[in-house]
Structures are given as structure tokens and as C-alpha cells.
Amino acid sequence: MLHYRIKSKETVLAELEDRNQRCSQRKQGAVQLGKRLHAYILRNGFGMSLALATALVDMYGKCGEIRSARAIFDSMKNKDVMTWTAMISAYAQANCIDYAFQLFVQMRDNGVRPNELTMVSLLSLCAVNGALDMGKWFHAYIDKQGVEVDVILKTALIDMYAKCGDISGAQRLFSEAIDRDICTWNVMMAGYGMHGYGEKALKLFTEMETLGVKPNDITFIGALHACSHAGLVVEGKGLFEKMIHDFGLVPKVEHYGCMVDLLGRAGLLDEAYKMIESMPVTPNIAIWGAMLAACKIHKNSNMGELAARELLALEPQNCGYKVLMSNIYAAANRWNDVAGMRKAVKDTGIKKEPGMSSIEVNGLVHDFKMGDRAHPLIEKISEMLAEMSKKLKEAGYLPDTSVVLHNIDEEEKETALNYHSEKLAMAFGLISTAPGTPIRVVKNLRICDDCHTVTKLLSKIYKRVIIVRDRNRFHHFREGSCSCGGYW
């Protein structure tokens, strides 16, 4: 049975329009050229063959013009598998997950058999959204229908399992794979890294070398990320040197970003800053962003201010940096500076990205925002939150109110913490799934310190494995501990 999010028509159309606008802004140059070519075709009376129409659907989709792609798609009478795949791929690139899955159902109902490219697009959507049950359904469909599993589709399956939190499933598929290209190795290594298995990632790198598989730039990015998320500073430094001296690869800004992140997370802020100063390439937002995030972790407001200034010079309209700096000031009880930074955010007129947590239960994905009251089961969720709060206090939990930006009293801060989106998602998971089954939550932002502490305790109190994928990595909470070891 194929299920997914249930949303109103108005909500879906609004989201589609928003995505369309954001994609169009990034790709205006390309889409204008594409539109001129399309107009030339129409003016000169070219016959709209199936191949040409499919190419136009693909072009508009890749340029973010989803409505134009769909208009051409709908105007075609005899669509083949490539046409359907092009439209599904367009939705996948725009992360229009509902439309993509609906189109897949229509494709089947029209008697068109999907191919490996169709499944790659759908699996990528599952990976982005953390929809493991849906990804498993597609995997079973591939096996049942005998879809050819080439190296690209196999790699997409490994990526889906890894990004949906099932690293064991990814590892099993990787071990079974006979034909592996460099992308397959890279995906598995990145999977280990995002789950905090730095040692396994390094072991895989060694296996690559033994088998004579030559690593590329992306391989080292994955390996360095794995070191960063496991606190393997010495190993990371060794890899960076090996990349230059043993493989003759010139480090790009992405590799320096990994090193700054590695050093910063480990608390070596001065060393990280010296690396930025000595870089032969101009530091970008990723470099300074890693530095600012490290300053937040280690509560270094002075160096954080320096990184924030550099970031705002590069992207003055990005309020996210101001929000992160506000967090640093709040942790230091510098409330006047918090107020100033909040005013600066307000003056830009741009709203910060809201925290959102999702949980998949029985093929449906449920989204929660902080303080959300819109869910049909909100009363039961609130009751579970109250129970969670009581059991947490009995276990000795003390709220970390430093993560609340507002200068309000401690009781109000505790209330605000109780309604963070990931806590709402976990409460829903506890009332909606059988005892002992894992709970999987996907969050669009970095998990806060308080929610991290709470989730560790909840995993022990309710005897559940709780897997949280935040913006940076996976956290596997089990029996009161987390796989990240404090590196996130």
C-alpha cells in the first residue's frame, strides 16, 4: 500500500509555488535560455516528437520550472517510460515528494513499467525525507518487478538506507554488491560518517586502497567528515596530508571546510583559525559557518563574533548567522547583545528557517513545528509530553534553559523547551508505535543541547532505540547514551 503525507490542496499548492520560486531564483539564466529555445521550436514549426517533448520536460524540471514541465507533460498523449521518469525526476529535484509518488501511482495505473532511472529518483526522495518505510517499499517493488539493478540503482539503494537511518541495511547491500564504482564506495563511506562510525569509514578507505580503487575528491570529503563526527583529529590530519602527498590531489575549499570543522568540533579553535588564515583559496560561507558553529559548541563569543562578521559580509541577507550568534550570546547571558541581534534579524525582513521534525508511522509522514497544535492527536501528544516530563524529572533531568533565546523566567523557558519539534515527534512516536520498536525522527536543523540530553534519557526510560537525523548527522540513542559521543 502506497501512502505518504496528507495535506490540503491549498498547502500543497503554496509549497509548490514556494519551491518553484526558490528554484527559479537560482537558475534564472538557464531557464531563460531554455524558454528562448522552446519559443524558437514553436515559432519554426518543429514537430513536437515524444523525444523533444520529453527533453523539454527534463529541461524545465532541472531549471526548477515545475509548472511548465507539468504543462508539457500533461499535453502529451502517448507517454513512454522516459517521459514519466523525466517528470518524476523534476518533482524529485524540487523535493515535491507528494506529487512524485502520486505520479508513480498513475504511471503504474497506465501500464507503464518504471525503469532503474525512475526508481533512482524515487529513492533519492526517500533519502532526503528520511522515509525508510517508503524506501523499503520501493526496494521490495524493484525486487518483485525484476527492475534491473545496475551500479547506479544499487548505489541509490545504499544511499537511501544510510540516509534513512538503517546503516546496517546499507552495509548489507554494499557487501552484496559485486560491481562497485567510486560512487558506491563514496556513498558507503559518507553513510558511516553521518552515523558517527569514523573507524568503519577509515577501515573502508583502507580496503579501497588495498583493492586498488583510487579515491577522488569526494572520497576525501566523506572520510574527513567521518573523522570530524567521531573526533578523530589525528586520523583526519593524516588523511589530509595523504590526499596531497600520496594522491597528488589539490585540496579544494570543501576539504579545508572539513578540516576547519574537524578542528573546531574538537575545540582547537585557534588551530582552525590559523588554517583559515593560511588557506590558498578564499574562505567561503561553509568555512566560516563551520567556525561559527564550533564557537557555539565551545561557547567562544569573541571568535564567534569574528566568524559572524565574515559570514554577514558574504551573505548579508542570511539571518541564520545572526540567529546562531544570538545562541552564543544567550549561552553567555549577554541579553543586550541577544536583543540587538534579534533586532538585526527583524530589520532584514527575512524569517529564519523554522525548526521542523518529521516522523514516519505506517507509511505516513507527520510533520511537527515548535509549539505545534495542529495535529489531530494533539491532546494525546500533550498527555504523553506531560508523562515524559514527569518521568524525566524523576530520572534527575534538569532543563538546559540556556538554549532558549528569550530573556524570560526559568518556568517559561522550561515550557518552551517542552514543545520543541523533536519532542513533539517523539511523543507522537511513543503513542503510535509498539513498545520496543525504534523511533526515527528527521529534523531540518541541528538538534539542541537540551533535546539531545532529553532523548538520551527517554531511550533509557522507555527502553527504545531513538534515531534522530538532524542537519549534521545521525544520533543513535540507546540505553541512555548517544552514538555521537558529543561530536555533533
Which parts of 253-412 are beta strand (E)?
356-361, 364-369
Residue 21 has pLDDT above 80, yes or no: no
Residue 20 has pLDDT above 60, yes or no: no
pLDDT at 41: 82
**Residue 458: which of 478, 444, 483, 476 has the closest Cα?**
478
pLDDT at 192: 95
* CA 296/CA 293 separation, integer angstroms: 5
* CA 232/CA 242 separation, integer angstroms: 15
Q: What is the pLDDT of residues 190-225, one digit of tens each?
A: 999 999 899 999 999 999 999 999 999 999 999 999
45, HSE (Cβ side, Cα atoms, 13 Å): 0
Residue type (1 letter), 272 = A
Q: What is the pLDDT of residues 283-341, one digit of tens each?
A: 999 999 899 889 888 888 889 888 888 888 888 777 667 777 777 777 677 778 777 77
Phi, psi of 283 (to 5 degrees): -60, 140
The one-character DSSP state at 403 is G
CA angle 27, 92, 167 (to 5 degrees): 120
Whether 172 contacts 166, CB under 8 Å: no
* CA 102/CA 136 separation, integer angstroms: 17
**Residue 431: which of 464, 456, 455 has the closest Cα?**
464
* CA 70/CA 74 separation, integer angstroms: 6
Residue 6 has pLDDT above 50, yes or no: no
pLDDT at 402: 57
Q: What CATH number should be reported for the domain whose range is 251-352?
A: 1.25.40.10
Whether 23 contacts 39, CB under 8 Å: no
pLDDT at 24: 46
* CA 486/CA 230 separation, integer angstroms: 9
Local confidence band at 404 (pLDDT 50, 70, 90 cut-offs) = low
Average pLDDT, the chain: 86
pLDDT at 116: 94
Beta strands at 466-469 and 481-482: parallel, antiparallel or unpaired = unpaired
Residue 451 has pLDDT above 80, yes or no: yes
Q: What is the pLDDT of residues 25-68, one digit of tens each?
A: 445 557 788 788 888 888 887 778 899 999 999 999 988 889 99
Task: Assign 95 to helix, strand or coil.
Answer: coil
Residue 362 has pLDDT above 90, yes or no: no
- Residue ranges of alpha helices (H) inside 253-377 are 253-265, 269-278, 285-297, 301-314, 319-331, 335-348
If phi over 0 gives left and psi between -120 and 50 gives alpha, with beta otherwise, what is residue 365?
beta
* CA 359/CA 131 separation, integer angstroms: 8
Residue 429's contacts (CB-CB under 8 Å, 6 or more residues apart) are 359, 361, 439, 440, 441, 466
The one-character DSSP state at 130 is T
* CA 69/CA 345 separation, integer angstroms: 36
pLDDT at 309: 84
Question: pLDDT above 90 covers what percent of the chain?
Answer: 58
Average pLDDT over residues 144-161: 95
